Structures are given as C-alpha cells and as structure tokens.
Amino acid sequence: MTVYIDPPVWPGHGHLWSHLISDVSFDELHRFAAEVGVPPRAFERDHYDIPSHRYAEVVRAGAVEVSSREVVRLLYAAGLRRPKRGTQPRT
C-alpha cells in the first residue's frame, strides 16, 4: 500500500493542511486513513485533509512525502481526480 501526502501549506479554518491521496484506489486510501485515525469527515472528493500537527505522524505511518504538484499528477494518472462541482475537468 502506498499513499502520498503533500506539505501542509494549504490554509483553512486557522490551520495549514496537507492532502493525503492514493494512486491506486479510494479503498486503499480509506483503509490507510482509518488505520491512522483520520476521521471520515476529513475526506473531500479525492483526498483527505490532514492538519499540519498530524503531518509527521502520517508520514511515520507510511505516507510518502511528495509535492502538491505531484499529488495532482498522481491523481490524474490514476484516474482518481474528482474536480469540485461546477468546474470542468482539465483535458
């Protein structure tokens, strides 16, 4: 099982956030998230939002550190990218 996480640079709700993804399946992503205690409510479309204070813990549990650009590339390559409603997928 390989899941990926980008650096916690995304601001929101007074925190910085990372994105946790899989390049294989949502089942793999949900299993890993459950194993490290990430609540289901943290799942958004195609990733889990991980607060900066949990970043090191998730990496220690096995998430591979990649850039934010690489997260997007991996999602598209796996066919798992789910754009926000009202936006058109990139072609």
Within-domain flag for 91: no
> Could you tell me which of 67, 84, 88 has the C-alpha nearest to residue 19?
67
List pLDDT tens digits, range 51-73.
Answer: 999 999 999 999 999 999 999 99
The total of other beta-carbon atoms located within 10 Å of residue 77's CB is 10
Q: Report how many domains make up the chain.
A: 1
Helix ranges (DSSP H) in 1-91: 26-35, 55-60, 68-78
| Range of the structural domain that residue 55 is part of | 3-78
pLDDT reported for residue 87: 55
Contact between 26 and 87 (Cβ < 8 Å): no
Cα(59)–Cα(65) distance, integer angstroms: 7
pLDDT reported for residue 91: 44
Within-domain flag for 56: yes
Cα(36)–Cα(67) distance, integer angstroms: 21
Cα(91)–Cα(84) distance, integer angstroms: 15
Within-domain flag for 48: yes
Contact between 39 and 56 (Cβ < 8 Å): no
Whether the predicted model's global pTM rises above the 0.95 cut: no
Within-domain flag for 86: no
Within-domain flag for 83: no
